[in-house]
Structure 1
């Protein structure tokens, strides 16, 4: 998506031989036309380029540039609610995520959008009591929402069009991902095997296929091919209404996939089908809520969630040297998503490739 504003610093000669600097804000209006607003007379380039002066110029444009009088004073809460009400074509689960992302704006919700600055958004972003992936999602949604606010003439220009949030990195230089050790997975599975076979098999499938929780919950025995040692994921259990869950097709073609099932998983499934209850809906389980499964995981492994099975599966494949295209195919993700989420491991693969090339062709 194109940036809808940019700043330029221009040096202007004075009649007395000195120089002054001008700060120019070029911005794109709702019709896609570029306009400019400027302020001059700065003695130093650093003064013209300061964040404080840029904020002043942005604020002036936001309050005077191409705003519909009907929208004057509209708060972030009001615009977010309106925008979500307009996007009825989106899946119910996506709309609920949008509502939640808007709600965590907290103290900014009741502030007029014309008064919200880059600093406001960035400060809130830094203090959100959530993980790095949630922060990235919130930053992206806020950028999208403010861009739409420009389009609907609620503000003249987005104050965060150039916002880029980089997740905190761990000491190895990779984005922080929670993965499970082999010992942790074994402890979890052994504990559940003794208590609840139904929960045990769900965790077993998640651990050895890397499937999303909704995909695991939608599985039927018909999706498991014991002869070819494969499991097919072609549907998911997710929201079909605000308070209703149901079986839905996958979000994308990439998500539909058939993955190999290792012998240990097939043995576990074989044991489970000997003891399973025949549920009328054909699914392997009566459980319907991923949040409940995460609560079970946390009782046994306090620092982990159901989604950590997926991270663990992916990182183990990448660390073993499997190529990114194959890993993406097994996860039901795009190559770009795998590279972005597991960048530390893909960088290691590139370094290993460079070493291999040096060994093959010589240094």
Structure 2
């Protein structure tokens, strides 16, 4: 590691600290515009000690672009588990596209203020919060710091979640609203699908993967889902908790059993992801809101939380913190019970 101090033609002083990267190539950290030689020398000494510290930590000379960090992270994720990572690859692909302005920059040159300004501008332009994208980017930078050791600081640290925009979807589907949705669904298969979502709280991909052989004894065994992008059944679910059996009514069981299916037994082979979303978006709700509704109804009925978590296919904390909504249909009767114990 070398220090060079020189005076430029304009009379200003410049300091240069040179070092070798991991490939043996010389790199420089220069700074100019100093009025006095001693000021340039002071900056060079501080930079020299900083680079020495990074060298001891094994970071100095690890030159990675953000794109290379993303690609390495995804490669590690692919090798780490055997799950179908097509959705993960797609999500990270979107993130790389969103932050395309930063992808080919050295990861150590990306500043917190640049990211913050970029996110604030995107929020003003699109109206989106980008909260989940910030969380994922933070994970990638932490991977670069802890695993690759190619940078020291996480520039996502000052990025903040935008909680100003309320989720206006109807998360709790009342009985009246439920029948309104069924009435608006013109196709019988779509009606049947909505009935199944309402009774089970399934994820839409799980629902599209239901086969006649998994509908057993007034219940549905959830051990597969339909990948809409690859147009095929996969036996890899979102989490380990997702593998479960959900009880259904005798009427729904009978209708599922007599429904048409394809050669593999898939019942909703003639229904698409977009067709379901199109109807529900018009009514200001979504398939995921059926999960909120089923969790809320089960909690309102006094079902044990461990059983609810199993049926919904998620952790108890998630059920309580994210899914359960106020059940206005049971509100007055709940008030009566409270009054009795006052």
TM-score under structure 1 length normalisation:
0.62
Distance 1:320 1:169 in 2: 31
Q: Structure 1 residues 357, 197: CA separation in 2 closer, same or farther (over 3 Å shift)?
A: closer
2:295 — aligned with what?
A: 314
Q: Structure 1 residues 162, 64: CA separation in 2 closer, same or farther (over 3 Å shift)?
A: farther
2:149 — aligned with what?
A: 153
Distance 1:119 1:233 in 2: 46
Q: Structure 1 residues 271, 236: CA separation in 2 closer, same or farther (over 3 Å shift)?
A: closer
Distance 1:312 1:61 in 2: 55
Distance 2:170 2:97 in 1: 25
Distance 1:297 1:131 in 2: 20
Distance 1:326 1:140 in 2: 30
Other structure's SS at 2:225 match: strand
CA contact (8 A) 1:218 1:235 kept: yes
The CA deviation at 1:214 is 1.4
**What is the root-mean-square deviation in Å for CA atoms of aligned residues?**
3.9
Other structure's SS at 2:286 match: coil
Distance 2:260 2:51 in 1: 61
CA contact (8 A) 2:196 2:252 kept: no
Distance 2:339 2:51 in 1: 55
The CA deviation at 1:200 is 1.7
Q: Structure 1 residues 253, 243: CA separation in 2 closer, same or farther (over 3 Å shift)?
A: closer
Distance 2:339 2:114 in 1: 49
Q: Structure 1 residues 344, 225: CA separation in 2 closer, same or farther (over 3 Å shift)?
A: closer
Q: 5+ residue gaps in structure 1?
A: 1-56, 346-355
CA contact (8 A) 1:71 1:153 kept: no
The reply on whether 1:295 has 2:278 as its aligned counterpart is: yes
Q: 5+ residue gaps in structure 2?
A: 1-45, 327-336
1:248 — aligned with what?
A: 235
Q: Structure 1 residues 108, 323: CA separation in 2 closer, same or farther (over 3 Å shift)?
A: farther
1:114 — aligned with what?
A: 108
The reply on whether 1:283 has 2:274 as its aligned counterpart is: no
Other structure's SS at 1:231 match: strand
Distance 2:225 2:270 in 1: 13
Q: Structure 1 residues 71, 291: CA separation in 2 closer, same or farther (over 3 Å shift)?
A: farther
The equivalences for 1:215-226 within 5 A come to 215-226=206-217
Distance 2:294 2:52 in 1: 50
1:260 — aligned with what?
A: 247
- 1:339 pairs with one of 317, 320, 327: 320
The CA deviation at 1:206 is 0.9
1:143 — aligned with what?
A: 138
The reply on whether 1:79 has 2:72 as its aligned counterpart is: no
User: Which has the higher Rg, Structure 1 or Structure 2?
Assistant: 2
Q: Structure 1 residues 308, 71: CA separation in 2 closer, same or farther (over 3 Å shift)?
A: same
Other structure's SS at 2:310 match: helix
Measured against aligned partners, the alpha-carbon deviations of 1:190-215 in whole angstroms (never above 9, x if no partner) come to 222xx311222112111221001111
Number of paired residues?
Answer: 276
Measured against aligned partners, the alpha-carbon deviations of 1:225-276 in whole angstroms (never above 9, x if no partner) come to 34xx32221222237xx745332233444212122213xxx424534544x3
Q: Structure 1 residues 334, 183: CA separation in 2 closer, same or farther (over 3 Å shift)?
A: same
The reply on whether 1:98 has 2:92 as its aligned counterpart is: yes
2:13 — aligned with what?
A: none
Other structure's SS at 1:277 match: coil
